[in-house]
Structure 1
Amino acid sequence: MSKIALLFPGQGAQAVGMGRQLAESLPAARSLFDRAQAVLGYDLAEVCFNGPAEKLDSTVYSQPALFVCSLAALESLKATKPEVAAEAKATAGLSLGEYTALVFAEAITFEDGLKLVAERGSAMQAAADLVPSGMVSVLGLDLDKVQAVCDEARQPGEVLQIANHLCPGNIVISGHTSACERVPAIAEKAGAMKTIRLSVAGAFHTPLMAPAVQRLTSALAHVPIKPPRIPVISNVDALSHDDPHEIRHLLVQQVVSPVRWEDSMRVLLNMGVTPFWEIGPGRVLRGLLKRIDRKVAADGIEC
């Protein structure tokens, strides 16, 4: 019998126009956008469907937008392949996507999850505004070599560290802008195939996000969390947790800790998961999976 896992994308997967087709064709998806407007106080559908891209790409808007669009795609899955959603035995989400996974696992309600994601996006943007910082994807180097690149590029008083362990040969580092600017030359010298400066507001998943911790801690303290009905793999430690107190703690830690995505996928593979389904905008997670295990079966529902 198949052991299905659903995966939910994180920031960077957004694109103007996402969610429109689902909202126009599926009442359950349209309802999510209507409920989101009531929670947020603005028309999220307008931002998703029509942009502009500069607005949608802002952390404040992209995080709620991806959360709602991914859950709209989940409604499409339930409508077209109800057996896949019903038989899923585990779930995970990349960074922001972990909140979507927790809603799917019925640990958090849609409305509470959206409030948390909106506060998270706002708090992370505010932290990013305090100091020039960013993220760089390094392709073609193993973990030890990327760590050595960080150590060489970082100068006293700067932050530069591994932020996302995505898959073999694809590792994201994050830190002060001055340090990020030294990375391409150093990485190329170390044998990297390519470096890509990411279009994000700041150094996510590093201590530079510490100013967001208090706001997120406060928001999580006021949200009921139940034990998930299926395992939700945490980005922080690549383990599943049933204790709501632990889940709250890990969601706070997530903003200042590296995302262990490759480890999380290997945990699911060791559980015997097959196939994987990527639910939400884009195909990034399926691509990462193929780099981790080229034989893995993966499908998706986009929006």
Structure 2
Amino acid sequence: MKTAIVYSGQGAQYAGMGKDLYEQYDSVKEVFAQASDTLQLDMAALCFEENNLLNQTMYTQPSILTVSMAIDALLAENGVKPDIVAGLSLGEYSAFVKAGVLSFPEALKLVKKRGQYMTEAVPLGEGAMAAVMGLDRKIIEDICQEVALEHGVVSPANYNMPGQIAIAGLKVPVEIASQRLSEAGAKRVVPLTVSGPFHTSLLEPAAKQLEKEIQTYQINDPSMPVISNTTARPFEDAAHIKGLMVKQVMSPVYWEDSVQKMIELGVDTFIEVGPGKTLSSFIKKIDRSVNTMNVENIKSFEKTLQKLT
């Protein structure tokens, strides 16, 4: 059996995530305490109580990272060791911590900055995203390209699974592309409630700021294979990671291709770590023959341990 741990991305957050695990396990409490000390904010209050900050990108990113690494510590304590890791967008930073690329405190500081830069890159309300269901990726790419030439930025942002690709860009081009994609035979085109047009060229200002910021961090070679969102291949070394961290902010996330790559490398068991079950549902649609499980609370933690023993 070859196991991959995959980490949740932004959008999976909810008030109360990780709370029952925090109340029961010291190792979870320790991770939360470290996050609170590092960022000088009450991470438990941010994750567990209804508040306005949790959905603001610069707070969402460190909060999901904290919950993911707290669950990861609990799994490690129970002997769960992945052979390979990956994460969706923000989740890639959890994978970096797991593979020793970044220390947890440095990753927290970096994703908070990343969230801030992403928010500042495009003023609220100017960008949009939509999920396109049931249409071939080549048709989506071609229509986005046509609309972009006429009306402004719109492009594929997330290749999630067969039959589901998210597009993003400026509001009007996304609306026009959505209409044309429906006419081209998409089963459904659903506008997404997100705070920005992530993983498009509009995020170039964020990428440039991130590039400067990264220079002040200690980035290490990975201790285990980490699959890149941007290339759907394993990262090579610290220099390769630095370049792709910058590119990843403004490039599409090739999640479907990344999962296929892990399966090609022999993975037959995927454990989703962090809030929600989004990645598990994508993986099931990509390849029904693999085992998928997720850990976000006590019930799913106990169920996963049972399956693994």
Sort the TM-score into its range (normalised by shorter chain).
Answer: over 0.9
- CA offsets per residue over residues 236-288 of structure 1, 9 Å max, x none? 11111232111011001000111111111111000110111111111111111
**What is aligned with 2:192?**
198
Please state if 1:29 is matched with 2:23: no
CA distance, structure 2, for counterparts of residue 44 and residue 180 of structure 1: 35
1:131 touches 1:176 (CA, 8 Å); kept in 2? no
Task: Name the counterpart of 2:156.
Answer: 162
Matched, 1:252 2:246: yes
Report the more deviating stretch, 181-190 or 228-237. Answer: 181-190
Amino acid at match of 2:188: K
1:42-191 alignment runs, 5 A limit: 42-52=41-51, 54-79=52-77, 81-82=78-79, 84-85=80-81, 88-129=82-123, 132-154=126-148, 156=150, 158-191=152-185
Q: Distance in 1 between matches of 2:102 and 2:15?
A: 27
* 1:228 match: 222
Deviation at 1:202, TM superposition (A): 1.0
Task: Give the Cα–Cα distance (whole angstroms) in 2 for the partners of residues 220 and 265 of structure 1.
Answer: 27
| Conserved 8 A contact 1:29-1:72 | yes
1:183 Cα deviation after fit: 3.5
Structure-1 separation of matches of 2:238 and 2:179: 44
Question: What's the counterpart of residue 283 of structure 2?
Answer: 289
More deviation, 189-198/108-117: 189-198
5+ long unaligned stretches in structure 2: 298-309
Shift of 1:181: 2.0
Q: How much has 1:295 moved relative to structure 2?
A: 1.2
Q: 2: distance between equivalents of 1:272 and 1:197?
A: 36
Instruction: State the alpha-carbon separation in 2 of the partners of residues 213 and 151 from structure 1.
Output: 22
Structure 2: how far apart are the matches of 1:157 and 1:142?
A: 22
Are the counterparts in 2 of residues 11 and 96 from structure 1 also a CA contact under 8 Å?
yes
1:89 positional shift: 1.0
Moved more, 128-137 or 109-118: 128-137
Gaps of 5+ in 1: none
Q: Secondary structure at the match of 2:272?
A: strand
SS at match of 1:294: coil
Shift of 1:78: 2.4
Q: How many Å apart are 1:189 and its aligned residue? A: 1.3
In 1, distance between residues paired with 2:232 and 2:226? 9
Structure 1 vs Structure 2 CA RMSD: 1.5
2:301 equivalent in structure 1: none
Conservation of the 8 A alpha-carbon contact between 1:76 and 1:301: no
- SS of the residue aligned with 2:208? helix
Fraction of identical pairs, as percent: 38
Distance 1:130 1:217 in 2: 23
- Distance in 2 (CA, whole Å) between partners of 1:248 and 1:152 is 32
CA contact (8 A) 1:119 1:215 kept: no
Deviations 1:205-246 (A, max 9, x none): 111001112221122111111111110001111111232111
Q: Following TM superposition, by how much is the alpha carbon of 1:51 offset from its aligned partner in structure 2, in angstroms? A: 2.7
Deviations 1:183-220 (A, max 9, x none): 43222212212122222111111110011122211221
TM-score scaled to structure 2, two decimals?
Answer: 0.92
Tell me, in whole angstroms, the C-alpha distance in 1 between the residues paired with 2:234 and 2:55.
30
Question: Is contact 1:276-1:299 (8 Å) kept?
Answer: yes
* Count of residues in Structure 1 that have an aligned counterpart in Structure 2: 297
Q: Secondary structure at the match of 1:233?
A: coil
CA distance in 1 between partners of 2:143 and 2:128 (Å): 16
Amino acid in structure 2 at the alignment position of 1:29: V
CA distance in 2, matches of 1:131, 1:155: 22
Quote how far apart the aligned CAs of 1:131 are. Answer: 7.1
Contact in 2 for aligned 1:206/1:257 (Cα 8 Å): yes
Q: Is this contact kept in 2: 1:150–1:183, CA < 8 A?
A: yes
Q: Judge conservation of contact 2:124–2:195 (CA < 8 Å) in 1.
A: no
Structure 1 length-normalised TM: 0.94
In structure 1, C-alpha distance between the alignment counterparts of 2:74 and 2:176, rounded to whole Å: 44
Q: Alpha-carbon deviation of 1:97? A: 0.5
